Amino acid sequence: MTTPIIVVVGAGVVGLSTAIEIQERIPSAKVYIVAEVLPGDPKSIKYTSLWAGAHHVSLAENEGQLRLDSKTFRRMWEMSEGGHPAEHCFLRLQQTEYYSDKRNNEGNTDRLHFMPDYRVFKDSELIEGSLSGVEFTTLTIDTPVYLPYLLSRFESAGGTIIRASISALSSLLTGTLVPEKPSAIISCPGLGAATIKGIEDPDVYPIRGQTVLVRTPWVRFGRTLSEPGVDGIWTYIIPRRSGDVILGGVKQVNDFRPEPLKEITEDILRRCLKLCPELVTGSPEFKSSTSGPEAEGGGTPRKVTVDDLRPFIIEEGCGLRPARKGGIRFEVDWLSAAESTNGKIPVIHHYGHGGFGYQSSWGSAEKAVDLLQTVL
Ligand SMILES: Cc1cc2nc3c(=O)[nH]c(=O)nc-3n(C[C@H](O)[C@H](O)[C@H](O)COP(=O)(O)OP(=O)(O)OC[C@H]3O[C@@H](n4cnc5c(N)ncnc54)[C@H](O)[C@@H]3O)c2cc1C
d(C-alpha 206, C-alpha 220), whole Å? 31
* CB within 8 Å of 180: residues ≥ 6 apart: 5, 30
d(C-alpha 247, C-alpha 374), whole Å? 42
CB atoms within 10 A of CB 23: 20
Residue nearest to atom 3 of ligand 1 (CA): 52
d(C-alpha 214, C-alpha 216), whole Å? 6
Beta bridge partners of 321: 207
pLDDT at 288: 86
Torsion of CA 25, 26, 32, 35, to 10 degrees: -30
- The ligand 1 atom at the shortest distance from the C-alpha of residue 143 is 17
- The ligand 1 atom at the shortest distance from the C-alpha of residue 236 is 8
26-35, 42-51, 130-139, 338-347: range with lowest mean pLDDT: 338-347
Percent of the chain with pLDDT over 70: 93
Ligand 1 centroid vs 357 CA: distance in angstroms? 7
d(C-alpha 354, C-alpha 203), whole Å? 12
Q: What is the per-residue pLDDT across 147-171, written as a single tens digit (0 to 9) for each?
A: 999 999 999 999 999 999 999 999 9
Percent of the chain with pLDDT over 90: 86
Q: What is the mean pLDDT of the chain?
A: 93
Ligand 1 centroid vs 188 CA: distance in angstroms? 9
Q: What is the per-residue pLDDT across 244-296, written as a single tens digit (0 to 9) for each?
A: 999 999 999 999 999 999 999 999 999 999 999 999 999 999 988 877 655 55
d(C-alpha 74, C-alpha 48), whole Å? 24
DSSP of 147-199: HHHHHHHHHHTT-EEEE---SBGGGGSSSSSSSS--SEEEE--GGGGGTSBTT
pLDDT at 298: 54
Beta bridge partners of 94: 137, 221
Pocket of ligand 1, beta carbon within 6 A: 9-15, 35-37, 46-49, 51-55, 165-166, 188-190, 192, 196, 209, 211, 248-249, 319, 321-322, 351, 353-359
pLDDT at 217: 98
* CB within 8 Å of 312: residues ≥ 6 apart: 214, 215, 216, 279, 283
Ligand 1 centroid vs 304 CA: distance in angstroms? 35
pLDDT at 227: 83
Alpha helices in the chain, H assignment, sequence order: 13-25, 63-79, 143-156, 262-275, 278-281, 284-289, 306-309, 361-375
Residue nearest to atom 18 of ligand 1 (CA): 357
Q: What is the per-residue pLDDT across 196-218, written as a single tens digit (0 to 9) for each?
A: 999 999 999 999 999 999 999 99
Whether residue 238 is predicted with pLDDT greater than 80 in this model: the reply is yes
Range of the domain at 305: 5-375
d(C-alpha 185, C-alpha 340), whole Å? 13
Q: Buried b vs exposed e over 311-322: b needs ≥16 C-beta within 10 Å? A: ebeeebbbbbbb
d(C-alpha 5, C-alpha 3), whole Å? 6
pLDDT at 104: 58
d(C-alpha 73, C-alpha 141), whole Å? 11
Q: With bands split at pLDDT 50, 70 and 90, how would you rate the model's confidence at 230?
A: low
pLDDT at 302: 78
How deeply is 303 buried, as exposed, middle or buried, from its count of CB atoms within 10 A (0-12, 13-18, 19+)? exposed
Beta bridge partners of 141: 90
Indicate the number of domains in the chain: 1
Ligand 1 centroid vs 144 CA: distance in angstroms? 13
Whether residue 108 is predicted with pLDDT greater than 60 in this model: the reply is no
Q: Which helix (H) or strand (E) holds 210?
A: strand 204-215
CATH code of the domain covering residue 209: 3.30.9.10
How deeply is 283 buried, as exposed, middle or buried, from its count of CB atoms within 10 A (0-12, 13-18, 19+)? buried
Angle between helices 13-25 and 143-156 (to 10 degrees): 30
Helix, strand, or coil here: 144?
helix
pTM over 0.85: yes
54-63, 125-134, 331-340: range with lowest mean pLDDT: 331-340
